[in-house]
Amino acid sequence: MFTKVERLISSRNLRPKKKEGFLKIISIFSFLGIMLGVAILIIVMSVMNGFKTELTNKILGLNPHIVIQPNGLNINEEYISKIKNNFKDISVSKTYSGEGIIINNNQAKGIIFKGVNNKEKKIKIFLEKNIVSGDINKFKKNYVFIGSELAFNLNLNEGDRINLMSSAFVATPLGSLPKQENFRIAGIFNTGFVEFDQNIIFLTSEDALSIFDKNTKDQNLEIYLNDPLKANVYKKEIEKLNQNYFIYTWSDLNKSFFSALKVERNVMFIILTLIIIVAAFNIISGLTILIKNKTKEIAILKTLGLNNTSIKKSFFLTGFTIGFFATITGIILGILFSSNIEKVRIFLSTVFKLEIFPSDIYFLEKLPSEINLYSIFIIFILSMLVSAIASYIPARHVTKMKTFRALKYE
């Protein structure tokens, strides 16, 4: 693609003389600008990808993939059997959830009571995976599992007794009062998702129905899939079995959240791409000055028989080489930084005594990062394209130079 002469001219252009120190400075700034632009773009995209993946995994791990609400009707066993027969790779369980208050000594907090089947395989796997203290075998009637953040805030431990108050009312001689029941803590779990760990209590389905004064016909049907990303496909098929129930998926509940995350990611990509574009202007200005300074040399090369195309290609290669090596260096730097971003966060937090990435705001205990090869490839192509355009613009002006004017007074 490039001849030996063209590569030789390009390499000499990349090593300016001492009197051309200004060109060297421009070349260095061009290199650093593109390198930092690419590195920052990779780091930000990796963090955004990490956020999406981590939050998706947390949401999928904590919530059912499809929920069927009775909508005033009873979800009978015939309907459940029909679902199980049509979809062999799913797990089905009946649950009931509602809002209430946990009371301990003089402290109270509004939370969500989630009544589950303690024999359900998915529930057992979830608790076994995230339990930090307690015994899963104790999870039975009048026993509950609470999150680590909730336990910390209310100073609770395994075996403590707590009082739960629901939104259901019972008639008493003093009038209607919220229904309350006492429970013992069977264990404490920690998912790493702060919002969940401080706002959820697991209790058995029987206890949940009792405290909310409900019966089995009020229970929801929760479905877990082997591939949660196909939830919407399964939802459409399940809706065909009975149109009377209200059905929604985990993605329906979090649609606005993931849409906002996607928009933010795209906007960040566009904004940070401007860093590379701005850096590319240094290539244009540097090559323009270089060509102006090399007018006499270019005229001599033309006189010796080198055609305009070869000269143009040699100067194009000069700018493109800067862009190429800056991009490669930026990719390496970005990958290294993204791979160790949590260590960097801890280091900066320790040295400067700053709370970087507070878990109570971002819902995650550590800064997530996921290196995506496809994103890196797109960034590489984009950087190369910008570098190529920035190199071509000044290089094409070489063909317009008049040889006789450059050598007129030589």
Q: Using one digit for the tens of pLDDT, what is the confidence trace for 92-135?
A: 888 888 888 898 877 888 888 888 887 777 777 788 888 888 88
Position 315, amino acid: F
* Contact in structure between 239 and 247 (CB atoms under 8 Å): yes
d(CA 359, CA 325): 38
All residue ranges of the chain with pLDDT < 50 are 409
3-state SS, residue 15: coil
**Residue for token digits 């149109």?**
243
Spatial contact of 231 and 249, defined as CB atoms under 8 Å apart? yes
Res 34: pLDDT: 87
pLDDT digits (tens, 9 = 90+) for 307-331: 777 777 887 888 888 888 999 999 9
- Look up the pTM and report it: 0.67
In the chain, count of helices (H) and strands (E)?
16, 10
The torsion defined by the Cα of 8, 11, 17 and 21, in degrees rounded to 10, comes to: 150
- pLDDT score, position 409: 46
Element (H, E) at 206: helix 205-211
Q: Are 376 and 262 in contact (CB under 8 A)?
A: no
